[in-house]
Structure 1
Amino acid sequence: MMGFDVSVQSSPDRRAPLMSDVAKAANVSMATVDRVLNRRKGVKDRTTQRVLKAALELDFLTLEESALIATPRPPNIVFLLPAGANPYLKLLGEKLRARAVPRGRDAPSIRCIFIESFNATVLAAALRHHAAWADGIAFMAIDHPEVREAVEEITSAGLRVVTIVSDLPHPARMAYVGLDNHSVGRTAAMLLARFSQRASGSLALVAGSRNYRAHSEREAGFLALIEEMHPDLHVVGVREGHDDAGENFRHANSLLEQHLDLIGIYNVGGASNGIARALVEQGRAGDIQFIGHGLTSDTRKLLIDGTMDAVIDSDPETILSLAINLICEAPQQLPHIQTQRSVRMDIFFRENLPSGTKLPFP
């Protein structure tokens, strides 16, 4: 509730107007009057004007109160993130929770919802469910027909949709905010090949899931550069670890045992600590070149002790700010919005780690 004091001075022979009087005069329901007074979504502009006109004529509202209600309200924004043990996504969630603290009537209302990972049906259901409250939804997309259909439905109802980290090319989504993932994959391949300083050998990729376009694009970029520039390096089959440390540990152990010529591992997704554990336990840490994603407390530690060689990162604050600003953009600016907002790719090594950065523990 906005907390308006809607009482009026009345003479002894005149009772104060009630919401029911406003509803009757405007020919709407009490629920509609309540929605207008509290600037909730779902009320047409002409209905809002009719309610405010009736409220003014009945002295239910002052001119100042009416003008305040008539101003466009800030949007309700929902972020949908995959649940699980991925430290980078946990970091995004922590930063979102900090932004969700109420900041005044003119600031957007933000909710962060973690949903089951890698499940297109669950994501599609969440998009439809949260569309009832939200004016805009930002989410890490799964490239699947069910998700595309849900995006079609909610954008047809007027919601703004922004994909973050992983895209879903769809004409109805407003924009994608994240890395150019094909370039990311090529960069990871170049780093592994250069770090290894070997003319031949095997390289391995561990992805979260190819259902995330970000992961499939990184894989494609990686394979393309190796084929173009290092044809004597052999890329072994991609394993899907679903950003789970236990799965990644088992995949890394299997790769080390099956490919004695393995010289490098690129973790396309999260949970690099699982791969690092396998390298340490098999005595291969520092011998196998290892590159992953997301500068968090675990990857920072792995860089410092030499288990990881490089971490590719995208600043979470930048991603969140761009997504929020896009959803809050004025309607007249929408035709000029770029459909892709590429975020700067940061590459961290042990020698260039930022100091004084507070990162969450995994």
Structure 2
Amino acid sequence: MSEVSEQLFRPQLSDLAARAGVSLATVDRVINRRKGVKERTRRHVLSVARDIGLLSAEDLAAFDATRPPNIVFLLPSGSNPYLRLLGEMVRARVAQNSEGAPELRCFFIEGFDPTALADALRRNARWADGIAFFGLDHPDVREAVSDVARAGTQLVSIVSDLGHPGVSAYVGMENRGVGRSAGYLLGRFVTHKTGAVALVAGSRHYRAHSEREAGFLSIQEELFPHLRVVGMREGHDDSGQNYRHTVELLEQHPDLVGIYNVGGSSGGIARALSEHQRHDIVFIGHGLTPDTRRALLQGTLDVVFNTDPAALIDRAIAAIRSPEAAVPPIKLDIVLRENLPPSEG
């Protein structure tokens, strides 16, 4: 038989679908090793593909080999510099696409919109074997987590936990302990016998932020009752909102001696303190980024709690690939002006 004749009679995917008694879409998912096909159906389609000569024995062996998982990172959008840095690192991993590594995708979604997060979880679960996401604590998100986990997609919460049985692992700091550490350092750094201290957060819908708040308040009550906590304001991790909140705090509380930003975008707070020449206020924030590095060097920001974003990504991928393995809390780095690591770019 000539080469042209062989090409004419070579089995096609449509032939495989007809012989196997399944749709062409199912055949496409099996041949391209995509999700959404029952194991019994997958093996049946592969067996028929061998019988009609579409796949060789070597091809079938490759199909039985473990496929690297498809993993999606869902990150909150906005002006938070740390989250932008985290997203840039994930997308750099996407571009590398090294052999044997998971296939990664990264999407930014509205950070404080539970409907957007719930929709993104369901939509990406059609492709992903595992999803790493910020746990926004809301009924819509919890319902989506239940649906996605029930369908077999591994879910890992990062930075902020959800406390839901559908989430197989949490990758991040032990946030109540982080809040207590912040309260302890602020109380020790403040030289005044009395005064007001304030908290700024992204949103209490992030369990990480509410847990840090709870830890901070507990240590203040235990060890520093002479300091008056004036409540927590939500700035949605936006530099402009954090700036305005700080200006209002300075105007309303002349005896303000400390601020703890439990969320991100500390640059707005630092700008307000600098403009009002309030370098006497003890300021503690999160995330080592260009804006917090600059504030540390200027002396406006005293302490930064940081989690290495590369380590966070590695730990999240490992948790999805090995869901049975224990995931300990990620390391907390406490950065001061005097131990500021060299800038990487």
Report if TM-score (shorter chain) is over 0.5.
yes
Q: Give yes or no for the alignment of 1:175 onto 2:162.
A: no
Q: Give yes or no for the alignment of 1:54 onto 2:54.
A: no
Q: Identify the residue that residue 316 of structure 1 maps to in structure 2.
A: 309
Out of 315, 327, 341, the residue aligned to residue 328 of structure 2 is 341
Q: Percent identity?
A: 56
Distance 1:203 1:42 in 2: 53
Distance 1:98 1:12 in 2: 43
Distance 1:194 1:57, change over 3 A: same
Distance 2:343 2:116 in 1: 38
Q: Are 1:102 and 1:109, in contact at CA under 8 Å, matched by a contact in 2? A: no
Q: Please give the secondary structure, in 2, of the residue aligned with 1:236.
A: strand
Q: Identify the residue that residue 157 of structure 1 maps to in structure 2.
A: 151
Deviation at 1:13, TM superposition (A): 12
Q: Identify the residue that residue 66 of structure 1 maps to in structure 2.
A: 60
Distance 2:115 2:55 in 1: 46
How big is each residue's C-alpha offset from its partner over 1:311-338, in whole Å with a ceiling of 9 and x where there is no partner? 0001111111111111122xxxx4x433
Deviation at 1:55, TM superposition (A): 1.6
Distance 1:287 1:133, change over 3 A: same
Q: Give yes or no for the alignment of 1:245 onto 2:239.
A: yes
For structure 1, which segment, 294-303 or 189-198, has the greater mean C-alpha deviation from structure 2 after superposition? 189-198
Q: Identify the residue that residue 187 of structure 2 maps to in structure 1.
A: 193
- TM score, norm. by length of structure 2: 0.95
Distance 1:167 1:13 in 2: 55
Q: Give yes or no for the alignment of 1:350 onto 2:331.
A: no
Q: Tell me, which stretches of 5 or more residues in structure 2 are unaligned?
A: none
Q: Tell me which amino acid in the other structure corresponds to 2:342.
A: S
Q: Give yes or no for the alignment of 1:303 onto 2:296.
A: yes
Q: Are 1:36 and 1:69, in contact at CA under 8 Å, matched by a contact in 2? A: no
Task: Spell out structure 1 runs of 4+ moving beyond 4 A.
Answer: 8-14
Q: Tell me which amino acid in the other structure corresponds to 2:82.
A: Y
Q: Give yes or no for the alignment of 1:206 onto 2:200.
A: yes
Deviation at 1:300, TM superposition (A): 0.5
Distance 2:45 2:16 in 1: 7
Out of 248, 257, 263, the residue aligned to residue 263 of structure 1 is 257
Q: Identify the residue that residue 23 of structure 2 maps to in structure 1.
A: 29
Q: Tell me which amino acid in the other structure corresponds to 1:354.
A: P
Distance 1:182 1:299 in 2: 22
Deviation at 1:233, TM superposition (A): 0.8
How big is each residue's C-alpha offset from its partner over 1:146-194, in whole Å with a ceiling of 9 and x where there is no partner? 1111100000000100000001001121011001110111111111111
Out of 121, 138, 145, the residue aligned to residue 144 of structure 1 is 138
Q: Tell me, which stretches of 5 or more residues in structure 1 are unaligned?
A: 1-7
RMSD of aligned Cα (Å): 1.8
Distance 1:9 1:274 in 2: 70
Deviation at 1:71, TM superposition (A): 2.0
Q: Give yes or no for the alignment of 1:288 onto 2:281.
A: yes
Q: Tell me which amino acid in the other structure corresponds to 1:100.
A: V
- TM score, norm. by length of structure 1: 0.91
Q: Please give the secondary structure, in 1, of the residue aligned with 2:95.
A: coil
Q: Please give the secondary structure, in 1, of the residue aligned with 2:231.
A: coil
